[in-house]
């Protein structure tokens, strides 16, 4: 592992302590760094290379609560992973990891290692890093870390980067030789386990996207192939992800609405731009029925509660209306004190021939922002179809190891 980022992480830890004591927000830091090794599905290994570290700002008060109480060093926790097609299961892992300490640093595995150990990633490393950084519980990201977590890499995390605990989900993480990837931090009492979120995985989402791609390519899907989402959304999960602030009466509320299906960097970008325009970003997540009517039978890939959780995990979203009406109404604008309605520069969205944003336009509240990445569900599905054989093989392997996990799983308390 290279050590280019060491100073940045050390700075970050220092700044959390000093900043909190002085009442300042945690400063941003940027740097580059190296490798590690983690477990794999089905006995493969993960490995990681050279990448970037970024520290973010928004949850700094949270991150520094220990330091605020005195001069105590904040507890730094580290979690790594692939975070491919970043979903609310990953976000929930990061939420639990953050609750194990004060500062959460996340290692993101590089593309070559994922390809070697699991099969091709859907999203490249830059996008995966961007998505992890956008998660509201993350304080810093280290890119290009190895899949296989060596003792050496772990020591470097402890000694040079001030990491106190390594955290991972309760799914088995095995090295290619079948041994536990986290044996070392476990042995020395510096490992914490969080509960894996059941009912969602990259494998599952990839399977759903493959079906979208096949349908678009004119294939007829067997009824047995169409799988409903198995994730059970509870009120406590929504509360854990949700904001604790209500829509401000005095502040400038910016409203953004859409499907937010298979949450991606394009979604993050419009939310970030919305945040720049006001004080509070309220996100309307359209109903499954609306998305289906607009995009076709295979849509949405994720149901409205799953889509809402992904949006809520984003640092730029303050509140979500789950199952918002696609058409902007007077009631919606008034209830939520909306000052600005933001949309991307795409085609008009018409329902029964009427522009859903007509009222916002008529009132001069409508603002258009440039579409940043052109990311779309159809585009991701096409990308997967272009490498269909590889993705199908990856999913078959992963589905096997996921079944093994579910067969032997135990109950682990959530943090
Ligand atoms: N994770 C989780 N719940 C899920 C999926 C992942 O808690 N449903 C956790 C993993 O246990 C790990 C972290 O998220 O600590 C990163 O997981 P990652 O390496 O990206 O991949 P997988 O564990 O293979 O999960 P997935 O197939 O969904 O990518």
Q: What is the pLDDT of residues 105-123, one digit of tens each?
A: 999 999 998 888 888 899 9
Q: Give, as one character, the DSSP assignment of residue 328.
A: -
Q: pLDDT digit string (tens) for 277-305?
A: 999 999 999 999 999 999 888 899 999 99
pTM, two decimal places: 0.83
Q: Decide if 194 contacts 93 (C-beta within 8 A).
A: yes
Measured CA to CA, the distance from residue 367 to residue 9 in angstroms comes to 38
Rounded average pLDDT over 378-387 = 90
| pLDDT tens column, 177-188 | 788 889 999 999
Is the beta carbon of 44 within 6 A of some atom in ligand 1? no
- How far apart CA 33 and CA 53 sit, in angstroms, is 7
Q: What is the DSSP letter of 218?
A: T
pLDDT at residue 248, as a whole number: 86
Lowest mean pLDDT among 17-26, 235-244, 391-400: 17-26
Residues making up the chain, counted from first to last: 415
Residue 336 has pLDDT above 80, yes or no: yes
Nearest atom in ligand 1 to 201's CA? 28
Query: Which among 66, 55, 67 has a CA at the least distance from the CA of 141?
Result: 55
For ligand 1, whether the C-beta of 169 sits within 6 Å is yes
Kindly state if the Cβ of 83 falls inside 6 Å of ligand 1.
yes
What is the 8-class DSSP label of residue 299?
A: -
Secondary structure (H, E, C), 80-102: EECCCCCCHHHHHHHHHHHHCCC
Ligand 1, closest atom to CA 199?
8
**92 CA: nearest ligand 1 atom:** 7
Residues 6+ apart with CB under 8 A from 26: 12, 15, 16, 19, 20, 55, 56, 57, 60, 63, 64, 139
**Alpha-carbon radius of gyration of the chain:** 21
For residues 266 and 373, give the distance between their C-alpha atoms in angstroms, rounded to a whole number.
Answer: 5
Ligand 1 midpoint to CA 21 (Å)? 35
Range ranked top by mean pLDDT from 110-114, 133-137, 159-163, 214-218? 133-137
Beta carbon of 96 within 6 Å of any ligand 1 atom: no
The helix/strand count (H/E) of the chain reads as 17, 16
Determine the pLDDT at residue 3.
27
Protein residue whose Cα sits closest to atom 10 of ligand 1: 169
- CB distance 90 to ligand 1 below 6 Å: yes
Residue nearest to atom 14 of ligand 1 (CA): 90
Residue 207 near ligand 1, beta carbon < 6 Å? no
Check residue 69 and give its pLDDT.
52
CB 52 near ligand 1, within 6 Å: no
User: From CA 87, how far away is CA 8, in angstroms rounded?
Assistant: 28
Distance 325 CA to ligand 1 centre (A): 32
pLDDT tens per residue across span 18-34: 232 222 222 222 222 33
What pairing do the DSSP bridges indicate for beta strands 140-145 and 103-109? Answer: parallel
- In this structure, the residue with its CA closest to atom 17 of ligand 1 is 81
Ligand 1 closest atom vs CA 168: 15
Q: H/E element holding 320?
A: strand 319-324
Measured in Å, residue 10 CA sits from the centre of ligand 1 at 27
Q: Are 167 and 192 in contact (CB under 8 A)?
A: yes
- Cβ of 81 less than 6 Å from ligand 1: yes
- Average model confidence (pLDDT) across the chain: 81
Cα–Cα dist 119/206, whole Å? 12
In angstroms, what is the span from residue 86 Cα to ligand 1's centroid? 9
Rounded-to-integer distance, Cα 359 and Cα 342, Å: 13
Hey, whose CA ends up nearest to atom 12 of ligand 1? Answer: 169
Alpha helix positions (H), 100-231 = 111-117, 125-133, 151-161, 183-187, 202-216
Range among 61-70, 210-219, 314-323 with highest mean pLDDT value: 314-323
Between the CA of 378 and the centroid of ligand 1 the distance, in Å, is 24
Tell whether the model's pLDDT for residue 11 goes beyond 70.
Answer: no
CA 183/CA 148 separation, integer angstroms = 12
89 Cα: distance to centroid of ligand 1 (angstroms): 7
Quick check: 270 pLDDT over 50?
A: yes
Nearest atom of ligand 1 to the alpha carbon of 195: 7
Q: Can you say whether residue 17 is alpha, beta or left, with left for phi > 0 and alpha for psi between -120 and 50 degrees?
A: alpha
**More confident position, 28 or 403:** 403
Nearest CA to ligand 1 atom 11: 169
32-78, pLDDT tens digit by residue? 233 332 223 332 333 233 333 333 444 444 444 445 555 588 999 99
**Distance between CA atoms of residues 282 and 292, nearest Å:** 23
Q: Specify the DSSP element, H or E, that contains 70.
A: none
């Amino acid at each position: 592992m290279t050590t280019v980022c060491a100073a940045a992480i050390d700075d970050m830890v220092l700044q959390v302590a000093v900043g909190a004591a002085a009442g300042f927000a945690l400063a941003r830091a940027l740097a580059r760094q190296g490798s590690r090794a983690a477990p794999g599905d089905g006995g493969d290994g993960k490995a990681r290379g050279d990448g970037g570290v970024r520290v973010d700002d928004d949850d700094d008060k949270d991150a520094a609560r220990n330091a605020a109480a005195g001069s105590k060093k904040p507890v730094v926790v580290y979690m790594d992973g692939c975070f491919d097609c970043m979903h609310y299961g990953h976000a929930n892992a990061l939420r639990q990891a953050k609750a194990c300490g004060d500062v959460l640093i996340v290692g993101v595995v590089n593309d070559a290692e994922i390809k070697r150990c699991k099969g091709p990633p859907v999203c490249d490393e830059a996008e995966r890093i961007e998505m992890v950084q956008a998660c509201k519980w993350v304080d810093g990201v280290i890119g290009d870390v190895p899949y296989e977590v060596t003792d050496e890499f772990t020591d470097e995390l402890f000694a040079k980067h001030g990491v106190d605990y390594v955290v991972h989900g309760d799914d088995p993480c095995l090295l290619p030789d079948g041994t536990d990837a986290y044996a070392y931090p476990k042995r020395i009492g510096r490992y914490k386990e969080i509960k894996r979120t059941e009912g969602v995985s990259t494998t599952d989402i990839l399977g759903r996207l493959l079906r979208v791609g096949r349908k678009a390519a004119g294939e007829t899907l067997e009824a047995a192939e169409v799988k409903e989402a198995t994730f059970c959304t509870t009120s406590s999960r929504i509360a854990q992800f949700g904001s604790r602030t209500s829509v401000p009466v005095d502040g400038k509320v910016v409203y953004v609405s859409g499907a937010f299906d298979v949450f991606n960097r394009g979604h993050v970008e419009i939310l970030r731009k919305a945040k720049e325009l006001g004080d509070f970003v309220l996100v309307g997540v359209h109903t499954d029925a609306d998305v289906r009517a607009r995009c076709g039978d295979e849509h949405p890939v994720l149901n409205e509660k799953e889509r809402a959780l992904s949006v809520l995990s984003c640092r730029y979203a303050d509140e979500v209306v789950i199952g918002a009406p696609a058409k902007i109404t007077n009631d919606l604008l008034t209830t939520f004190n909306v000052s600005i309605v933001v949309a991307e520069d795409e085609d008009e969205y018409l329902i029964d021939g009427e522009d859903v944003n007509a009222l916002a336009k008529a009132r001069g509240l409508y603002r258009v922002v440039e579409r940043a990445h052109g990311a779309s569900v159809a585009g991701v599905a096409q990308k997967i179809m272009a490498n269909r054989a590889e993705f199908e093989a990856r999913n078959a392997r992963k589905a096997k190891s996921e079944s093994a996990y579910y067969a032997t799983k135990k109950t682990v308390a959530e943090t």
